[in-house]
Chain A
Amino acid sequence: MSERKIRVLVAKPGLDGHDRGAKVVARALRDAGMEVIYTGLRQTPEMVVEAALQEDVDVIGLSILSGAHMALVPRVLEMLQANGLEHIKVFLGGIIPDEDVPRLKELGVVGIYGPGTLTEDIIRDVRLAVNGTSEP
């Protein structure tokens, strides 16, 4: 009788106030049958990690357009580790310069998506990261 759904936290850490992209992704993940917890704008890394813990999510999707990703993302990853949540897969979307990508992946970010990404690609990667298969 067990029924498991992929749970995703979509969060916007930092100070930029534009969450259109985050909402489009949230909606696409919902339409792919996932349960998406949307936390809104201006989250601190502490708030993101606390919400991820309480909601027991499989995936965190961070949307950052402010250029502060090299400060915010390492902090989120560090705090996940400190709270015993290293199993949570972190995805990143927004404006991320190419030269930062290798460092972020090295830190443990599973996928990084810029403008123009197809939502199908994100859905496939999330399923693959959580279930080991891209099948729904």
Chain B
Amino acid sequence: MSLASSVLDGERLAIARLLSQIENNNPSGQDALGELFPHTGRAHLVGVTGAPGTGKSSLVNRLAASYRNPPKGIPQLKVAIIAVDPSSPFTGGAILGDRVRMRDLSGDPGVFIRSMAARGSLGGLAPTTASMVQVFDAAGFEIIMIETVGAGQAEVDIARLAHTTLVVEAPGLGDDIQAIKAGILEIADILVVNKADRPGVENTERALRSMLELAHPAPRVFIHHGQIESLTSPESTSEGNGFWLPPIVRTIATKGDGLPELVSAINEHQQHLKETGERQNRDRARLQAELDTLIQTNLVYRWRQHVSDSQYQEILESLIARQISPHQAVEALLNGGIAA
């Protein structure tokens, strides 16, 4: 039986192996992913981002437990978790510690947790996170949670990948200017104020609320590889009725407080995406972004095979000696490389 068909059957060892092959850009992993791709597109992807220490891992732990132990009459869902932690820029090594907060989930065959090192990627996700999501999707996990590196203000990649993005804040981490900075808050579909038993929770919530009220129902447009992209269809925002105002949910993840409210907020957002056609728009934008990223990576890789190390070194040395400018260096490398 092929690796792909074992993954479709939900075999855990096969899933784990394929995830590694994909993470390592192994060609056989790409082949298996090709077989699996038609079976993807069913899962709901929940992104969880926010500054370090806001309690993302604990929240993911509780959220997964809520999906595994739903109230009576609500179906139990299978949950996959991808937790991304930073790689050292110097050694390439990493310590992946998110499982420490997720021990409640162990022993449950309906949960699969995978830790990932960012491997040099900025933006809070690893280069192969999107592909790993597809493996879990094909394997029949209904909820896939992606926890980003806790860098804070620039992790917009998650909004491109997830259907519902949670931005986690905690009292006492920065003033209200942090809240109106561009980037991280604009990507929130749901704002979570975690550690809500801490002093200052009212201030944090007020700052977030005033930020939301100030915000015009702007279409979710961002610049990606120099191109303006939109996450929202123009109709849904201009008419106003399709506009989603991010709710603010207070939680205390360590105790489980606020989790039922958070689950309902995610369900409502899921419903909203479906009714407004926004889900299709997001899926479209995500796949286009993935395509563009892959083109970039592959072009660089192919080009690099045409340029010898000595050519590269020679041009680098002229650059360092300031004989040529960075732009001229690129020009020389691209032309020389392609001609050679």
Residues of A participating in the B interface, judged by any CB pair closer than 8 Å: 1-5, 7, 26-27, 29-40, 43, 46-47, 50-51, 53-56, 83-85
Q: Which residue of B lies closest to A41 (CB)?
A: B100
Asked whether, in the complex, the Cβ of A30 is within 8 Å of the Cβ of B103, the reply is no
Contacting residues, chain B, for A50 (C-beta < 8 A): 106-107
Q: In chain A, what residue has the closest Cβ to B25?
A: A1
The CA-CA distance from A90 to B314 in the complex, in Å, is: 46
Q: Is the CB of A53 within 8 A of B92?
A: no
Is B115 an interface residue, CB under 8 A from the partner?
Answer: yes
Interchain CB contact under 8 A, A4 and B100 = no
Shortest C-beta distance, A17 to chain B (Å), equals: 14
Q: Can you name the residue of chain B whose Cβ is closest to the Cβ of A38? A: B97
Contact (A2, B25) CB under 8 Å given A36-B94, A38-B97, A47-B106: yes
Q: How far is the CA of A29 from the CA of B91 in the complex (A)?
A: 10
User: Which of B14-22, B204-212, B227-235, B330-338 is found at the contact surface with chain A?
Assistant: B14-22
Closest 3 CB pairs of A and B: A30-B93, A40-B100, A56-B16
User: Could you give, for residues 71-95 of chain B, a 1 whenever the CB lies within 8 Å of some chain A CB and a 0 otherwise?
Assistant: 0000000000000000110011111
Which A residues lie within 8 Å of B99 (CB)?
Answer: 37-40, 51
Question: Given A2-B26, A38-B100, does the pair A26, B95 have CB atoms closer than 8 Å?
Answer: yes
Residues of A within 8 A of B93 (CB): 5, 29-36
Q: Which residues on B sit within 8 Å (CB–CB) of A3?
A: 24-25, 119
Smallest CB gap from A31: residue in B: B91
Q: In the complex, what's the smallest C-beta–C-beta distance from A95 to chain B, in angstroms?
A: 23
Chain B residues with CB below 8 A from A84, complex form? 13
B114 an interface residue at 8 Å Cβ cutoff? yes
Contact partner, B88, options A1, A30, A53, A56, Cβ 8 Å: A30
Q: Are B17 and A56 in contact (CB under 8 A)?
A: yes
Are B16 and A54 closer than 8 Å at their CB atoms?
A: yes
Q: How far is the CA of A18 from the CA of B112 in the complex (A)?
A: 28
How far is A35 from B114 in the complex, measured between Cα atoms in Å? 13
B249 at the interface (CB under 8 A from A): no
Provide the residues of chain A in CB contact with B25, threshold 8 Å: 1-3
A46–B107 Cα distance when bound, in Å, is: 8
Q: When the two chains form their complex, are residues B100 and A2 in contact, meaning their CB atoms are under 8 A apart?
A: no
A30 touches B106 (CB 8 A): no
Closest partner residue, chain B, to A1 (CB atom): B25
CA distance A7 to B20 in the complex (A): 10
B117: interface (CB < 8 Å) = yes
Residues in B neighbouring A32, C-beta threshold 8 A? 91, 93
Task: Name the CB-closest residue of A to B17.
Answer: A56
State how many angstroms separate the Cβ of A41 from the closest Cβ of chain B.
8
Q: Are A36 and B95 in contact (CB under 8 A)?
A: yes
Find B96's partner among A27, A31, A38, A53 (CB 8 Å cutoff).
Answer: A38
19 contacts between A and B (CB under 8 A): A1-B25, A1-B297, A2-B24, A5-B24, A27-B95, A30-B91, A30-B93, A37-B99, A40-B99, A40-B100, A47-B106, A51-B106, A51-B113, A54-B112, A54-B113, A55-B16, A55-B115, A56-B16, A85-B13
User: Could you say which residues of chain B place their CB within 8 Å of the CB of A7?
Assistant: 20
A47 x B107 contact (CB < 8 A): yes
